[in-house]
A and B are shown apart, each in its own frame.
Chain A
Amino acid sequence: MTAVLERDTTFDKDFETEPYEVAWAGEARWFVQLVGGDGAARFVTQVSPDGITWCDLDDASHVAGQGELVSWPATGFGNWLRVRAVVEGTVQVRIHLAVKA
C-alpha cells in the first residue's frame, strides 16, 4: 500500500508527518520530493510505540534539494512510522510511504 502523507504542502520550519500505522507491514520505503519552494530539507525516519511518543529510527538523514526525489528504506520499525524534517528556507513537499506485508 502507498500513503501520501504530505501532498505538495509548504513548510517554512521543521515539521513531522502525521502518524501512520504499519503494524501489518514488514517492509517500508519513503519517497520524498521537493516540488517547490526555495529551500532544502533533511529527513529522518521516526518510530513510536504508541503513535504519540517518538524517537529516531537510526542515525541516517536524507537530504532533498529542489526538484529532487529521494528514497530510502525503513527496517526494524514497530507499529508506526513518520518522518521529521529539518527545513532551511521554504520547501514544498510530496511524501509517499510505500509499505508491504
Chain B
Amino acid sequence: MTTDVRAALLAADPRLSKFSPLPRILAFDDFDSGTHGWCELLGNYNGRGDLGTVDAHMRDFRPPQLSSCTFFDIGTHGAMSGTYALKLATRPYKGHTAVAIRRLTMSGRGLVQLETYFAFKSEATLGGGAELDTFGDVQWDGNTHPSEAQFGAFTVATDLCGDGGLRYHTVARYQNTDMDNRFTRQWIAPTVPEPTPREHFEGKVKLEYAADFTAPNPEDWQAFGEPQELCYNEVPTKVNWHYLRWLVDTDARRNVELQVNDRVMDMRDVPVPPYEERYETLENLLNFYFSVRTHSSVRNFLFLDSVLISVDW
C-alpha cells in the first residue's frame, strides 16, 4: 500500500514523474531555481591559499552558469522546466574541460542513482568562409551540421570514499568525437583511477593544462555498450533534452547500469579501479560531477535541466 501511495504521489507530481527515483531522494535539483550546490571543481592548494600550487590541469574548470539557453538566431530557447538550465561551458581551446561537482556524504551503503535531463551543444560559429561548412566528418548538407563534429565529450562520474579511506570513481563518458574530430559516439570508461593532487604533490604525476583530468591517457579508456547516436538536432541552437539514469552500488563498489533515452547498458563488468593508497579526510565521500571536454577550438556546452539523486538506504 505504501508503495502504491508513493508511486501515485510521484506520478501526480510533474516535477518528479519524469524521474524513476529509488526510495530516498537525496537531492532534486531543478536549475530553474538555482545551482543547488553544483559548483566549479578546483584542484587543491597549499596552506597559504597560493593558487599557484593548484595542478595546471585542475585550475580552470570554469564556473557553471544558470543559462536561459539563449542563441543568436532565435533568442531564448529556455530549459525543459522553466527558463533556466545549468550550463557547463569550456573555453575555446582544444582539450579544455569544464567541470561542475556536487558534494554529499553517505549515510549508508547500497544503490545510488543519478538521473538527469541533459543536452549538449557546440557554440555557434558566425562568419568566416565556405571552408567552415566542413568540419571533421561533416559537410553541411541542410541536415547535418559541422557544429556536431565540434563537440568532444561529456562525462558523468562519482568520487567515492569510505571504509577506512578506500577511494574510487565510477565514470561514464559519452565520446562524441575522437581528438581528430571524427565521430565515435561511444560510451567509454577509464580503467585507471583519476590522477590526484596528492600524487602530484608526491611527484608521481604532473599533467599539463587541458590534459584529460579523469584519465589523461586515451589508452586507459575502454568502450562499453554499442555506439549510440544522440539527438544533436542539426544546428548548434536547437536544444533537445535527453534522459539519463545511472545506477551504482556503493556496497559492492561497482557500476550497475546506465540508461540513456531508450538504451540501457549493463555496466556491471565495467572496471572500478580503486586507489592503491588510502585517503584521509574523505570518509563517506559522495561526490558527483559532470564534465564537458572540447576536442576542437570551439566552446562546448553541457546543459542540465534538472538532476535527481536517490538511494536505497
Using a CB–CB cutoff of 8 Å, the interface residues on chain A facing chain B are 1, 3-5, 7-9, 18-21, 23-24, 49-53, 79
Contact = CB atoms under 8 A, between A and B. Distances in A.
Interface stretch (B66-74, B169-177, B179-187, B198-206): B66-74
Nearest to B91: A18
Interface of B: 35, 40, 42, 51-52, 59-60, 62-63, 65-68, 70-72, 76, 83-84, 87, 89, 91, 123-124, 126
Nearest to A8: B51
A23 B70 contact: yes
Given A51-B70, A79-B70, 19 more contacts: A1-B35, A1-B66, A3-B65, A4-B40, A5-B63, A7-B51, A7-B59, A8-B51, A21-B65, A21-B66, A23-B83, A23-B84, A24-B84, A50-B70, A50-B71, A50-B72, A52-B72, A52-B123, A53-B72
B33 to A, nearest CB: 10
Contacts of B83: 23-24
Nearest to A96: B63
Given A7-B60, A52-B124, A18 B72 contact: no
A19 B126 contact: no
B63 A52 contact: no
A71 B76 CA distance: 30
A9 B54 CA distance: 12
B87 A3 contact: no
Nearest to A99: B66
